[in-house]
Structures are given as C-alpha cells and as structure tokens.
Amino acid sequence: MPAAIALTVVLALVAVFQLALVFGAPLGRFAWGGAHRVLPARLRVGSAVSIVIYAVIALLALDRVGAVDVVPDVVSVVGMWVVFGYFVLGIALNAISRSKPERAVMTPVTAVLAVLSLFVALS
C-alpha cells in the first residue's frame, strides 16, 4: 500500500504541474519537448489528457493494492504492468528531450514513477 500511495501523491503533483500548463503557466520548457515557454492549444489539450491518464493510473494502483475495488483484479494486475512499461518508455523519452530542463527534472520524476509502479505491479 505505501508504494501505491506514494505513486498517487507523485501523480497528483505532476497533475498539478500539467494543470498549470493547461492554464498557460510559462513552464513549457519542462514538458512536451521543451520547445514552448507557454504551450500552444494542442499541447494544452495533451496536458489535460495527461491529467486524466494520471487519475486512471492512480485508480489502478489503488485498486491493485486493495484500497479501492473498481475494476476486476485482472485489469489492475495487467494494467499496472502496462503502466510500468509506460513510465519506462517515459524515462527514455524524457532522457532524449532536446530540452535540458525537461531532461533534468522530468527524467528523474518519471524514473520515480516507474519504480513505484513496479512495486505496485509486484504487490
């Protein structure tokens, strides 16, 4: 359960960051390749979709450890392995970003998310 709670907390923090991007915060150098100080509309939509994805991941993690019961067990088991793969891919994508701030900040954040999702998947 601690890994699922930690994963949910980190996802909530990243969701707040994405929400700031949706509302035009000049933090674009940390996301989406870092090409924009303020994200254009299409990337703001991407940030909004990311928030929904983070909520689904948090729900899967909490379901996997038994804190909630909203999906069949097989969905949370397989889903958490998919989430782990998603974050491993995210590590690679953040690590090759042209944006130095994105590489410096988001690569370690995504690595933490990957490790936490692995712990939840293994639970």
Query: Domain spans of the chain?
Result: 2-122
Higher-confidence residue: 34 or 4? 4
pTM for the model stands at 0.91
The two three-digit tokens of residue 30, written as one number: 């940390």
Residue 47: per-residue pLDDT: 97
Give the model confidence (pLDDT) of 55-66 as tens digits.
999 999 999 999
Tally of CB atoms within 10 A around 19: 14
Cβ contacts of 110 within 8 Å, gap of 6 or more: 87, 90, 91, 94
